[in-house]
Amino acid sequence: MLENVVKWSRVKSPWVCHFNSGSCNGCDIEIIAALMPRFDAERFGVVLKGTPRHADVLLCTGPVTGQMKDRLLKIYEQMPEPKFVIAFGECGCSGAVYTGCYNVEGGIDKVIPVDAYIPGCPPKPEAILDGVVKLLTAFKESE
């Protein structure tokens, strides 16, 4: 019973924590743009949260720099279970243009497990909405 309530609330209102692991900002402004009146991801109950302890979803951008690697791990560990990670942007997915830089890991999934990838450099806000809807569907079907 309680589990159903939790699941219902998670599907209706996923709280997202945004983490920049060394991106160029292009993706970060597109994330905020997706929350603004034109695209309005809040329609789906998406709320951007400042602290990982309150978040269901970690929205990660950037290729993970040497400095941010430990912090990314720490933030990931602070999130309550069950947690979902979205790698946002081409460089979060694979390193993309930063491939070959000496200080990057080359993708979020090199450091923490990733559930969904949203490619694009940067992805358009429409792609973010699409990703959110897909994730919510996955939520619904998850046990």
Positions that interact with ligand SF4 (CB under 6 A): 23-24, 26-27, 61-62, 89-91, 96-97, 121-122
Please report whether residue 138 would count as binding another protein according to CB under 8 A: no
Single out the residue of 14, 16, 30, 93 in contact with another protein (rule: CB under 8 A). 30
Residue 24 has, within 13 A of its CA and on its CB side, a CA count of 10
The listed partner (another protein, ligand SF4, none) that binds 133, CB under 5 to 8 Å by sort, is none
Tokens of residue 36, six digits: 């603004």
Please report whether residue 29 would count as binding another protein according to CB under 8 A: yes
Sequence-ordered list of residues with C-beta below 8 angstroms from that of 129, at least 6 positions apart, any chain? 34, 39, 41, 44
Q: Please give the residues from 46 up to 75 whose contact with another protein meets the rule CB under 8 A.
A: 50-52, 62-63, 65-68, 70-71, 75
Q: Under the phi-then-psi rule, with left for phi > 0, alpha for psi from -120 to 50, and beta for the rest, what region is 84? A: beta
Single out the residue of 122, 132, 135, 139 in contact with another protein (rule: CB under 8 A). 122
Residue 11 DSSP code: H
The residue (of 116 and 127) whose beta carbon lies closer to another protein is 127
Q: Please give the residues from 82 up to 121 whose contact with another protein meets the rule CB under 8 A.
A: 91, 97-98, 100-104, 121
**Which of 84, 103, 110 is CA-nearest to residue 22?**
103
